[in-house]
Structure 1
Amino acid sequence: MKKIYTKITAFIVIAILICACNAVKRVPEGKLLLTKNEITVNGKVIKDENVFNQLYQKPNSTLLGYRLRLNLYNLANLNPDSTYQAKFTNNPEKYKRKSKWLSEKQVNRLGKSFWYHGIHDFLRRTGEPPIIIDKERADKSVLRLKYYYFNNGFFNVQAAYAIDTLKLKKAKIKYAITSGNAFFIDSLRATIATPVLDSLYQINKFNTFVKSGKQYKTEDFDNEKNRITTNFRNNGVYNFQPNYVTFDIDTIKKVNQANITLMIANYSYQDGDSTKTAPFKIYKISDVNIYTDYSPSLNTLNIKDSTTYKNFNLYSQEKLKYKPKAITNAIFITKGGLYADNKTVLTTRYLNNLKIFNYPSIQYEVDKRDTTAQSLIAKVYLTPRKKYSFGTTLDVTHSNIQDFGVGLSVSETIRNVFNGAETLEIAARGNIGASKDLANPKNNFFNVSEYGLDLKLNIPRIFMPFNTDKIIAKSMIPSTLITVGFAKQRNIGLDKENFTGALSYNWTPKINHTARFDLFNTQFVRNLNPTNYFNVYGSSYNALNEISKAYNTNTAYYNNAIDKDLLIEQGTRGFTNDVLSGNATFLKPLEAADVESVKSIEERRLRLTENDFILATSFTFSKTTKKDLTDNTFYLFKTKIESAGTILSAFAKTTNQKKNVNGNYEIFNLEYSEYVKTEFDYIKHWDLSKEKILAFRSFFGIAIPFGNSNYIPFSRSYFSGGSNDNRAWQPYGLGPGSSGALDDFNEANMKIAISGEFRFKLLGNLKGAIFADAGNIWNVLDNVVDEKSTFTSFSDLKDMALGTGFGIRYDLSFFVIRFDLGFKTYNPANETNKRWFREYNFSNSVLNFGINYPF
């Protein structure tokens, strides 16, 4: 209690200090603190962020209207060294006393300590110095405002500013803009000196950015220059540049209108001391030369081996180590074809994607053998990476099951393993972790462990016995991934061995589009410790144990005559068999409801402890508009459809295989899973400027068992709750439906999730967020009959849970550390009239730790 009072007192003191800070404390005499910018256009106050971004000076940042960073800066001592030394300069005896008590060295080092120096450095770095009004910058802001409006078609714009003093050392700047009328494009014509360029322009002029009737915008003219340049350079005009495109803007005798003339002169070049002009030429590729082992450190090439394959010339300074087709498949520049920038870019992307070369270099030179000087020789320089490379990684992880984990992996990569640009990776990995949600009778901190071995073979083409170029063109950069893996883990208490294998095809249909087709993805899960089930799933044990106390008469089943708790495994299995068989003596007749409960508990135990074999085929497609890492206005759509067991069932029926006693087919004496599963995931981000971002995510997934199965394997089912889901509930702690999460690990075969989050900047790299998460899981079309857990109609959407809360995040550039506090706002597990805000308090809240943003 004393510690709590101390913390509260410290918090109050800091808050008082910050609030009591004088905002103009560090504003020099005769200067003014900028508190606000105000912009009026034609007499009306505007809030357009694009206009305000033209200003050179902006007021200090605020948090909920309070200038927190400015006041933190004002708390800092800007000269802590001088202040510390002044203590002893004015009082030499004090220095002597301290030196005797500590030592001169320690006294001097004390001045560099956190309390004397470090805290002020922190406040200075975290804080923000006062923004002092600078008239020179205000003048520049006026010029930028005029340029901004001029570039948007307001040719007669006028702008001025005035400084309005508010109180002592504080003022705001009022910018007044008179825009005048905007100018619109009346007509557009083109004057192109080179006839061949004029023909290319006419073919594609309907795509122009400069159109009659549009308001004049400089941005449109810049875009048109780039469009024309791209069009020409992708059609053989090798030496064309944007500066050859000019525009003549005629506003004479026009009222708020302009006639535009697009002009492209002939090619200009230096010939000795004089400048000459000539019509532009269309260039063709006369040769494609590929240097497979180029070294940038060598000035010359000493070619010892060469070959020609389908009009490509391959050269090597040693014996050629690659199958020609493996390299030429990545080259889109063809002999006899026109020069094109897009082919150069595509070739560079494909070669870089092979991951056996450093970033390639592609150069062109005029072929001197062509007397018309309209031919180019393409030279592709490839610098091989090392054939063998060894790597290690150490990861700190966090997941919905594992609260904390440390993982180590070692890998060996072998490039060009079969001389076809293939890459083979052999990796061994190990992980230890801690989880408070798992069985941990010995109370060990690290109660989760896993180790495994993985082999991955990447083939830079579609690996099939027939040609697939007409279906998946090589411009889509296709590849084949073959994987085999083994893992042994101790996590949920049953301890598992996992054998996996997959054959996957990947390609990019368009830029920012990806597609993946898993011809097969197989998984065999073997439970090593199924007898530990009731130690792990405590809720199932408690339910069975309570029923046993009402009926059990067999003393061999319980621990002692007083508690009469069932022994694991002898008691739980014996009592279950007695109830289901009905061949035992009980304290009283068995009630039907209790028999059904025991039957349900046993069915769940069998489901979660049996071994699984899954042979699935799936297709995954994703599309995003995200341009780069700094793009905060984008959407991402991802969908997946998966079918498991269908091929095995078709084979079993065709070959007249016999079914087992349960009426199901088996493979390797094991019932395999059969289901169809589909998912839709949509993420949208809006950049609201000033480092404010609104993020939204929606997810829907459903897996339907059929044929050989009447339920979905645990590894393919859905759960709700956790740091990347509904953050007001623990992982596996929500649903299904309104059942109230009765099991230890609650899962189902249908899921709906919707999340919204508003992110904003707090201090420096410290960010904040307010979020709302809605969703739940349900059972549908499987063997679960509990009404509260199943989804039967759209009326069951009333069981969608809602969690709200706030979070803080610290951006370390390469990843983000995240803490989110979620509150149960609407809990469908409660009675209908007690669902809203009944658990909206700190005692029922959930604190989530995560790495990076949840979506």
Structure 2
Amino acid sequence: MKKISTKITAFILIATLICACNAVKRVPEGKHLLTKNEVLVNNKATKEEIIFNQLYQNPNSTLLLGFRLRLNLYNLANLNPDSTYQAKFTNNPEKYKRQSKWLSAKQVDRLGKSFLYHGIHDFLKKTGEAPVIIDKSKIDKSILRLKYYYFNIGFFNVKANYTIDTLKTKRAKIKYAITTLEPYTLDTLKTTILTPVLDSLYEVTKSKTLIKSGDQYKTANFEDEKNRITTHFRNNGAYNFQPNYITFDLDTINKVNKADVNLIINNYSYQQQDSSKTEPFKLYKISDVNIYTDYLPNGGNQKITDSISYNNFNLYGRKKIKYKPRAITNAIFITKGTLFADYKTVLTTRYLNNLKIFNYPTIQYEVDKRDTTAHSLIAKVYLTPRKKYSFGTTLDVTHSNIQDIGIGLSASETIRNVFNGAETLEIAARGNIGSSKDLANPNNNFFNVSEYGLDLKLSFPRIFIPFATEKIIPKSMIPSTLITMGFAKQRNIGLDKENFTGALSYNWTPKRNNTARFDLFNAQFVRNLNPQNYFNVYRSSYNALNELAQKPSYGVNPTYFNDNNDLIIENGTNSFINGVLGSNPSIFPNASDFASIKSIEERRIRLSENDFILATSYSFTKTTKIDLLDNNFYLFRTKIESAGTLLSLVSKTASLPKNSDNNYEIFNLEYSEYIKTEFDYIKHWDLTKEKVFAVRTFFGIAIPFGNSDNVPFSRSYFSGGSNDNRAWQPYSLGPGSSGASNDFNEANMKIALSGEFRFKVLGSLKGALFVDAGNIWNVLDNVEDEKATFKNLNDLKDIAIGSGFGLRYDLSFFVIRFDLGFKTYNPANETSKRWFNEYNFGHSVLNFGINYPF
């Protein structure tokens, strides 16, 4: 019966789609649905996107394989549901009477506005897409735009026409034919600049001109040259200069496809009473910089009661000025006695906004009437302080590699201008409860994860260091210092932990869209609260150890086992391990089993011991992303981190003693020593029509040395999960071809590559097809398992590949994401069964995520 129901449902669905696929259902008689645009340029077909963007009409959008989903949804809609609803009663008045007896007449009328009769059709019309009917008036507009486009790239004598090819009933395509003839190139160049000082400024930057003899004419180059000249002039004192003062005169008389260019810059023109006057442009200098520290933007009482003069800056306040002068003036790039410059205004605005103690600043200039030559400007900087104290709370629903779902609540208090030097202090408390099916959960509680913590952040708007750094990191790079301290306590997460952190970080922007960060120190102390719970959490290690202990040939003491003949945690497990690895062994397994037991114990010690990490790191990020809507950009991140090096240097210099393992200690704890580096590259290509192709590549390696022969768990790598290889669960891939034999599989080297094609499905619903590849390996550490280690390039055959599809729903402020990943190539399988052996829904992984994976 179940199979029959499934077949019936599938039949109905297919029938519905077939009925909906009548694409010309809404096309009137005598009209044609536009199915395709073709553009021939000089008798050659072109696919250039910019050319097709000139057309006023394009065919209805397609999903995959040319299927016009939105058009078919529109065709399913009843365009006049009100009339249809009323018609069934007009043709059958008795039906209306019968329904009115069960319901009131008012309710019967309101039923026609319900979702079933009306709303569903509104939804289909809104979500769908009306058929694109060929419109000759729009074709004519397209022809004009095509001509205009080619004219703007130098084809002054372009010809364009079109034909409409009827394909079949009510369907047609349009063929545009364009003949460009020869393009015009630029010949001789000359300038006519009426203001001598501007003429001199132009000569300085003349070599950088975008208008060059021999180049093909392009209108965009002339516009860019206008902006380039304007920027140069306004950055060198020409306060009144605007692009409209620049014109270009093109002379094509007696020329064959060539044009002479004359750059003309007129004098300054202004209105005086009822007449217009002109005069040469002036270069203005800054005579004063006035800073209003507590300006009221609503125009209230602006009476000044306090003022300070500091380093040629004038600070004014309606009340007592609460800021150290240097804290404000450090953010001001406009200085007395220098030429007016636009870029200084921009830098000042960015720096002041970055302080986060003022609302967005306003900077104005006015001519200084004290200067009889009228060559001076007074710069006025208006600052409106934010509230000194602000309290905030947030409630988050999260998904991570550890928690399937988490609910977090945080409260924070922000105190601005703490020491009157524009510093910001933030104190935040947070708590979280969550659910994870991957963690030990003997009571089967849904919320089996909890965490709470306290964080302090103190930010300085400068490099906080006892020596000058201006020559290395000038203030134009907007430097800042961040001091952080934190404490967090986790319960029911593995072995339960207390995590103490502290860092001193310096941040700056070497160039626009580039950021750099240097952590002078980043300290972390991790204390495991419940190490005796190790074998309850890491069940795969326990199962392997238990299986070895049960071998009759080893004659393990029966008191080590419970009634089910399993090792007792922790007395039995510890006794068995001591019996094999202790100083006086009583159990003598074969070499292979001995190595396995030794490996299990080494991993237990590593994951259950406390960690102290003192690291120094440098990270750099560069991106071309302009804003959130930019889908054509790249992002590059790199980081290098060194841990324990400073402590080892001090230990060696002071000739401190080593422990029994020949390692240095601090506070009776061996500290970690390693060097780690990472490279991350993301590239997006905008394929138009809301289609995007994105790729990501990542490489990271952490090499232990000196005081350590392995990398702390918190600094190691894992693979799998919603932001990684989506065909595997987090921590369930690798290392290498070992088959994820542990519960939480991690290693110290990682390679990851991903490609994703994103496209629009309906409205805010987007789709994606993706391929992920990568794995983790152990390298240059104490792991000896050949399947888990990376020895040479031949081990790249262990890169796992996952593929699949996903849906994303854009809520503007974040994106909800579902991805279904299939194991395409699994290096853990036998060589003959690696490709597509688990490519089915039974082995697939459904990932839930917030925002895009990269």
User: What is the TM-score with the length of structure 1 in the denominator?
Assistant: 0.97
Partner of 2:818: 819
Amino acid in structure 1 at the alignment position of 2:293: T
1:747 pairs with 2:750? no
Gap regions ≥5 residues in structure 2 = none
Partner of 2:95: 94
Q: Is the 8 A contact 1:552 1:575 kept in 2?
A: no
The SS at the match of 1:137 is helix
Structure 1 position 42, deviation (Å): 2.2
Task: Between 550-559 and 334-343, report the one with greater CA deviation.
Answer: 550-559
Amino acid in structure 2 at the alignment position of 1:741: A
Partner of 2:37: 37
Q: Is the 8 A contact 2:578 2:585 kept in 1?
A: no
Structure 1 position 379, deviation (Å): 0.2
Separation in 2, partners of 1:351, 1:149: 45
Partner of 1:845: 844
Q: Is the 8 A contact 1:720 1:726 kept in 2?
A: yes
Question: Deviations along 1:762-804, whole A, 9 cap, x unmatched?
Answer: 2222222221111111111111111111111111111111112
Structure 1 residues 87 and 567: alpha-carbon distance in aligned structure 2, compared to 1, 3 A threshold? farther
Amino acid in structure 1 at the alignment position of 2:622: K
Separation in 1, partners of 2:435, 2:737: 30
Partner of 2:562: 559
1:54 pairs with 2:64? no
Q: Is the 8 A contact 1:356 1:385 kept in 2?
A: yes
Question: Deviations along 1:820-848, whole A, 9 cap, x unmatched?
Answer: 12121211111223222222222112111
Partner of 1:634: 633
Separation in 1, partners of 2:570, 2:734: 28
Partner of 1:497: 498
Separation in 1, partners of 2:600, 2:104: 72
Amino acid in structure 1 at the alignment position of 2:34: L
Structure 1 position 308, deviation (Å): 0.4
Question: Deviations along 1:437-486, whole A, 9 cap, x unmatched?
Answer: 11122222222211111111111000011221111100000000011111
1:24 pairs with 2:37? no
Structure 1 residues 349 and 11: alpha-carbon distance in aligned structure 2, compared to 1, 3 A threshold? farther
Question: Deviations along 1:156-184, whole A, 9 cap, x unmatched?
Answer: 11222233333332222222222121111
Partner of 2:240: 239
Separation in 2, partners of 1:807, 1:5: 29
The SS at the match of 1:603 is helix
Structure 1 position 141, deviation (Å): 1.1
Separation in 1, partners of 2:14, 2:147: 43
1:693 pairs with 2:692? yes
Partner of 2:766: 767
Amino acid in structure 2 at the alignment position of 1:145: L
Separation in 2, partners of 1:394, 1:108: 43
Q: Is the 8 A contact 2:580 2:586 kept in 1?
A: no
Task: Between 448-457 and 224-233, report the one with greater CA deviation.
Answer: 448-457
Partner of 1:758: 757
1:4-153 matched pairs, under 5 angstroms: 6=5, 9-21=8-20, 22-63=22-63, 64-101=65-102, 107-153=108-154
Separation in 2, partners of 1:558, 1:116: 69
Matched residue count: 850
Separation in 2, partners of 1:103, 1:715: 68
CA RMSD, aligned part only? 1.7
Amino acid in structure 2 at the alignment position of 1:574: S
Question: Deviations along 1:244-275, whole A, 9 cap, x unmatched?
Answer: 00000111111111111100011111122111
Q: Is the 8 A contact 1:636 1:684 kept in 2?
A: yes
Structure 1 position 15, deviation (Å): 3.2
Structure 1 position 105, deviation (Å): 5.8
Structure 1 position 78, deviation (Å): 2.2
Separation in 2, partners of 1:557, 1:350: 67
1:409 pairs with 2:404? no
Question: Deviations along 1:190-217, whole A, 9 cap, x unmatched?
Answer: 1101111111111111111111111101
Separation in 2, partners of 1:181, 1:353: 52
Q: Is the 8 A contact 2:556 2:576 kept in 1?
A: no
Separation in 2, partners of 1:212, 1:252: 17
Partner of 1:443: 444
Q: Is the 8 A contact 1:397 1:405 kept in 2?
A: yes
Q: Is the 8 A contact 2:287 2:336 kept in 1?
A: yes
Identical columns (%)? 76
Structure 1 position 7, deviation (Å): 5.8
Separation in 1, partners of 2:487, 2:41: 68
1:311 pairs with 2:312? yes
Partner of 1:669: 668
Partner of 1:349: 350
1:621 pairs with 2:620? yes
Separation in 2, partners of 1:622, 1:163: 52
Partner of 1:605: 604
Structure 1 position 583, deviation (Å): 5.2
Separation in 1, partners of 2:79, 2:501: 61
Structure 1 residues 731 and 105: alpha-carbon distance in aligned structure 2, compared to 1, 3 A threshold? farther
Structure 1 residues 80 and 444: alpha-carbon distance in aligned structure 2, compared to 1, 3 A threshold? farther
Structure 1 position 107, deviation (Å): 4.2
Q: Is the 8 A contact 1:201 1:228 kept in 2?
A: yes
Partner of 1:268: 269
Question: Deviations along 1:93-122, whole A, 9 cap, x unmatched?
Answer: 333433444555654554344332332222
Structure 1 residues 265 and 300: alpha-carbon distance in aligned structure 2, compared to 1, 3 A threshold? farther
Separation in 2, partners of 1:52, 1:233: 38
Separation in 1, partners of 2:523, 2:197: 58
Partner of 2:679: 680
Partner of 2:365: 364
1:518-537 matched pairs, under 5 angstroms: 518-537=519-538
Separation in 2, partners of 1:605, 1:6: 53
Separation in 1, partners of 2:110, 2:536: 56
Structure 1 position 243, deviation (Å): 0.4
Separation in 1, partners of 2:166, 2:48: 24
1:828-839 matched pairs, under 5 angstroms: 828-839=827-838
1:461 pairs with 2:473? no
Gap regions ≥5 residues in structure 1 = none
Structure 1 position 343, deviation (Å): 0.2
Q: Is the 8 A contact 1:18 1:75 kept in 2?
A: no
Structure 1 position 83, deviation (Å): 2.5
Structure 1 residues 342 and 9: alpha-carbon distance in aligned structure 2, compared to 1, 3 A threshold? farther
Q: Is the 8 A contact 1:623 1:638 kept in 2?
A: yes
Amino acid in structure 1 at the alignment position of 2:51: V
Amino acid in structure 1 at the alignment position of 2:675: V
Partner of 1:155: 156
Amino acid in structure 1 at the alignment position of 2:343: N
